[in-house]
Amino acid sequence: MKILQPTPGDAKRIGARPFEVKNASSLELAKGEGEAHAYVLYFEPGCAIGPHEAGYGQLLLAVSGDGWVARGDGIRHALAPGEAAFIARGETHSKGSETGLTALMVQVRDLDLLPV
C-alpha cells in the first residue's frame, strides 16, 4: 500500500484539444488493464471494513471527512481529503473511519501506480 498526496503542482497543464480548455491540469496516477469498477463509499462514524485481500488494484481517494487504511499488519495510516491510498491486487488491507468519510474507490483488475 502507498499513501498518495497529489497536489496541483504535480499536475501538467492540459494542452490544446479539439475542444476549448482553460486553466486546467491533470495528474495521471495509475494505468491498468482489465475489468474496472468505480464506487463512492460512505463510511459512517466508527465504520470499518475488516482485513481482506484486494481482488483488484485499488485507488481510494478521500473526498470529504477523515479515514484510515491499513496493510495486513493492521497499522492504520490516516487519509485526509485529497489524499489517496493505492492498494495492489492481492494485498491484504482494511479501511474505515472514526468520524465519517466519503471516498471515491476505483478498482482495476491489473492496476499499476505511476511515479509522481
Which domain CATH number covers 97?
Answer: 2.60.120.10
pLDDT at 53: 95
Q: What is the mean pLDDT of residues 48-77?
A: 95
Q: What is the mean pLDDT of residues 71-87?
A: 96
Q: What is the mean pLDDT of residues 22-32?
A: 83
CA distance 84 to 96: 13
pLDDT at 114: 86
Q: How many domains does the chain have?
A: 1
Q: Which domain holds residue 89?
A: 2-113
Which element (helix H / strand E) includes 44? none
Asked if residue 95 lies in contact with residue 13, where contact means CB atoms within 8 angstroms, the answer is no
pLDDT over 80 at 78, yes or no: yes
Q: Tell me the whole-structure pTM to 2 decimals.
A: 0.83
pLDDT over 80 at 5, yes or no: yes
pLDDT at 6: 86
